[in-house]
Amino acid sequence: MLTYLLRRFVWMIPVLLVVTLITFTLMHLTPGGPWDRDPNRRQVDATTQAMLDKKFGLDKPLFLNFESSNFFDSQFFNYVWGAMQGDLGPSYRQRGRMVQDVLFEPPKGKPLWDSHFGYSVRLGLLALALATLFGIPFGVLASLRRNSLVDYIALFTSTVGISVPSFVLAIFLIILLAGKLNILKIIQRDWSSPAAWLVPAVVLGFGTFAYVTRLTRSSLLEVMSQDYIRTAKAKGLGDRVIIVRHMLRNAMIPVMTILGPALAGLVTGSFIIETMFGFPGSGREYVLAIGSRDYSMIMGTTLIYAVLIVLGNLTVDILYGFLDPRIKVK
């Protein structure tokens, strides 16, 4: 197991390098720069822009520096070297602050989970919890009541959840709950109340809920037709024992496959939802960084999210062995 983990951690390095390279390239191919402002305002003059570029190293070549004895003295390799040391660079939009401070530093006197990144992680965990707590039982019930009304409702709900984008569902709930029923504030000022988190979490996790429901149902239907289930029934085991010990445990392997990446996906995919609800998470900061061409913030947030996805996949692979002892690391 230790050798397997070391090998997976080594493979993380080229994956993260490729993600960083693609993000860096696309970022600089996009028109505009960090010193551009609103067209109605006065732009930064050329002299000031040159001084700012020199101060933050933006005057250097993007990839290779042929004018220097050190070919790797460029923006890309300087950023990679800094990121390896935990330095994600300065934020150009929030002057005087580092990217890691913007993402991970909570307000004074507050715990870590009140930081922007902490808010996004908490929202993602809540969305995943709702998706699994309702999706798995719904899928189990649908498989045990196949071709019944419950099964048809489960299939319809999961199809809607997979087909409808989250931002469409968010607009619908905002219009319904805030506009028509007046039980939700369109602009939420205070996120200390648990009720304020419910609607963004439901919107964010509804697609995952639908996918978990459908996958649980199909996995259980496949497991129900296996020989060992018929053997367990022939031995006189109770339905609850068969479902919990034999059916559900094996059926959870495909579901577990998506839960690790799903959590990372919920955290990384909350950009639009956080922006629509004014949620103070890192996803909203990422959207604002793209609009203002905050290069360091874009690179740092993307790199952190890539690490989360890789670790999520690794966690799922480790959990396979606990769910099914037949799966061994070779």
Q: What is the CATH number of the domain that holds 161?
A: 1.10.3720.10
pTM, whole model, 2 decimals? 0.75
Question: Are 159 and 134 in the same domain?
Answer: yes
Bridge partners (DSSP) of residue 90 are 98
User: Above pLDDT 90, what percent of the chain?
Assistant: 0
Residue that is last in its domain, among 73, 104, 135: 104
Expressed as residue numbers, the domain containing 28 is 2-104
Q: Which two tokens stand for residue 70?
A: 């050190």
Question: How confident is the model over 115-141, as a mean pLDDT?
Answer: 86
User: For residue 284, what are the contacts with CB-CB under 8 A and spacing of at least 6?
Assistant: 116, 271, 274, 275, 278
- The count of domains in the chain is 2
Residue that is last in its domain, among 104, 131, 157: 104
Residue that is last in its domain, among 71, 104, 137: 104
Question: How confident is the model over 41-60, as a mean pLDDT?
Answer: 71
8-27, pLDDT tens digit by residue?
A: 778 888 888 888 888 888 88
Residue 44 pLDDT class (50, 70, 90 cuts) = low
Q: How far, CA to CA in Å, does 14 sit from each of 63, 71, 81, 309, 310?
A: 17, 21, 14, 14, 12
Closest CA to 290 of 52, 152, 56, 92: 92
Question: Are 302 and 161 in the same domain?
Answer: yes
Question: Are 18 and 139 in the same domain?
Answer: no
